[in-house]
Chains A and B, each alone.
Chain A
Amino acid sequence: MSGITPSQTVGPYFGIMVRGRSECRQVSDATAGTRITVEGQLFDGDRNAIPDALVETWQADARGRYRHPDDPGADAADSAFNGYGWAHTGKDGGFRFETIKPGPVPAPDGGSQAPHIVVSVMARGILTRFVTRIYFEDDPATAQDPILALVPAERRHTLIARATGDGVYLFNLVMQGAGETVFFDV
């Protein structure tokens, strides 16, 4: 066994990497599913915006399939959908993902998980990324989700994106303090 390489902060200059990439495009005209926008702001413990964070997402396609060899349904996954999103936060800590509403995906116990997006937060001052999830306020399955059920009831709202109409969902991330987002050990 060899030991894992430790994480280090992305620091303030990871924009060099992000700018060096193509624009993040998850959806094309050929993508199946309901177009949605997930947007929000990232805040620190003083409720100041974090303008130098890398927010990454990973999600299933509209039918709940991951384009990945560990998903037995991968062959049927939408090849016109890119489940990987990334965003460099703006001066206001803002991030925005133009994507599709994911479908429900299998749970380890044989049931299903409500539609959700998994999220990594990296930034200057963050040594090891923090992981969380985005659920959807207007999806009835959210209330039945087995992972959300593991979160103390009074904190579940921090993982639920608010529907603001026209397919736009608002999801803020708070690293610390009042309204602190739930982060996972997984």
Chain B
Amino acid sequence: MDRPLATAPPRYRRVPPGVQPPEDPAYRSTLLRHPLKPLVEIPQTLSEITGPSHPYEAVGPLITDLTRQHPAAPIGERIIVEGRVLDERGRPVPRTLVEVWQANACGRYAHEVDNHDAPLDPNFTGNGRTITDEEGRYRFVTIKPGHYPWGNHYNAWRPAHIHFSVLGPGFLTRLVTQMYFPGDPLFPLDPIFNSVKDPAVRERMVSSFDITLTVPDWALGFRWDIVLRGREATPMLA
């Protein structure tokens, strides 16, 4: 190799252990899908510090209004979801890819493996894609997703949620998560929500109703910031 790194980029902070155990007996699908052997700790190298920060043209065109993908408007309560993508120091993460997918207002996904006995909406696909602005801001217009049952246990229902996928500035910042709505009565019963053991950490997944985001005579606004792994303060030493 003829290309030593003159100055190494700063590493990302390690994720504190124990936030979310990989095996959760309450969420049955985890049982056969997590490694039994311990993870092998490795240093962060250029391969992990870099990542698909661009180009996003490979991924597809932007879709920020999920209510305008079809000839007519979807059924459901129109909402605005807006927030910022930040790092752990509160600095914005600009120009990063944010994608969403969600059920329709009846709690049915436009997906062939969803067999929930609820109607599909021909005017709702439920996928969105945007890129954060210079302040790390994203904004989607959509409809509020419905609750839906799932097969994890008897009478299991998911709290209403929107799936979020964020690339962030490096491979290490990749995050897929779910945004929930405030005050959902299903929170105490949902193994996926409660897979995050610390209640204060869990709350970071819950959006807030925001009257200042709400557009009169048109749509309620929900605000939700996403915080990605941030850099160490000091540069990586060789």
| Physical interaction between A and B | yes
B44 near A186 with CB under 8 A, answer yes
Over the window 100-129 of chain A, the binary record of Cβ atoms lying under 8 Å from chain B Cβ atoms (1 yes, 0 no) is 000011111111110010101011111111
| In contact, B109 and A16 (Cβ under 8 angstroms) | yes
Determine, out of B71-79, B133-141, B199-207, B215-223, the stretch whose residues face the partner at the interface: B199-207
Q: Are A110 and B5 in contact (CB under 8 A)?
A: yes
* Chain B residues in 8 Å Cβ range of A92: none
Interface size class of B (residues with CB under 8 A): 35 or more
Q: Are A186 and B60 in contact (CB under 8 A)?
A: no
Does B106 count as interface, using CB distance less than 8 angstroms?
no
Q: Which residue of A lies closest to B114 (CB)?
A: A13
How far is the CB of A125 from the nearest CB of chain B, in Å?
A: 3
* Chain B residue at minimal CB-CB distance from A77: B50
Most buried by B among A14, A73, A184: A14
For A7, what are the chain B residues with a Cβ–Cβ distance below 8 Å? 20, 175-177
Residues of B within 8 A of A106 (CB): 1, 3-5, 45-46
Closest to A130 in B: B35
Interface size band for A: 35 or more
Known: A3-B201, A108-B238, A127-B27. A120 touches B46 (CB 8 A): no
A125 touches B29 (CB 8 A): yes
**A109-B238, A118-B171, A127-B195 known; A185+B41 contact, CB < 8 A:** yes
State whether A123 touches B33 (Cβ < 8 A).
yes
Return the contact of B42 from the options A14, A111, A184 (Cβ within 8 A). Answer: A184
* Contact across chains for A13 and B109 when beta carbons are under 8 A apart: yes
Task: Answer whether residue A97 sits at the interface, using C-beta atoms and an 8 A cutoff.
Answer: no
Q: Please, which residues of chain B bring their CB within 8 A of the CB of A20? A: 60, 63, 99, 101, 125, 127, 129
Contacting B at CB under 8 A, from A124-164, are: 124-131, 133, 147, 150-152, 155
Name, among B58, B60, B86, B109, the residue most crowded by chain A CB atoms within 10 Å (CB to CB): B58
Determine the distance from Cα of A50 to Cα of B33 in the docked complex, in whole angstroms.
Answer: 9
Within 8 Å of chain A (Cβ to Cβ): is B89? yes
Partner of A84, one of B22, B42, B52, B88: B52
Given contacts A12-B113, A183-B40, contact A66 B22 (CB under 8 A): no
Give A54 to B176 CA distance when docked, in angstroms: 11
Residues of A within 8 A of B (CB): 1-17, 19-22, 24-25, 44-46, 48, 50, 52, 54, 56, 58-60, 64, 66-73, 82-84, 104-113, 116, 118, 120, 122-131, 133, 147, 150-152, 155, 175-177, 180-186
Interface residues of B (CB under 8 A from A): 1, 3-9, 14-15, 19-20, 22, 24, 27-37, 39-55, 58-60, 63, 86, 88-90, 99-101, 103, 109-111, 113-114, 125-127, 129, 163, 165, 170-172, 174-178, 192-193, 195-196, 200-202, 204-205, 225-229, 236, 238
22 A–B pairs (Cβ distance < 8 Å), ordered by A: A1-B90, A6-B19, A13-B111, A16-B101, A16-B127, A17-B163, A20-B101, A22-B60, A105-B46, A109-B238, A110-B238, A111-B4, A112-B3, A116-B47, A125-B27, A127-B195, A130-B35, A150-B40, A150-B42, A176-B33, A177-B36, A185-B39
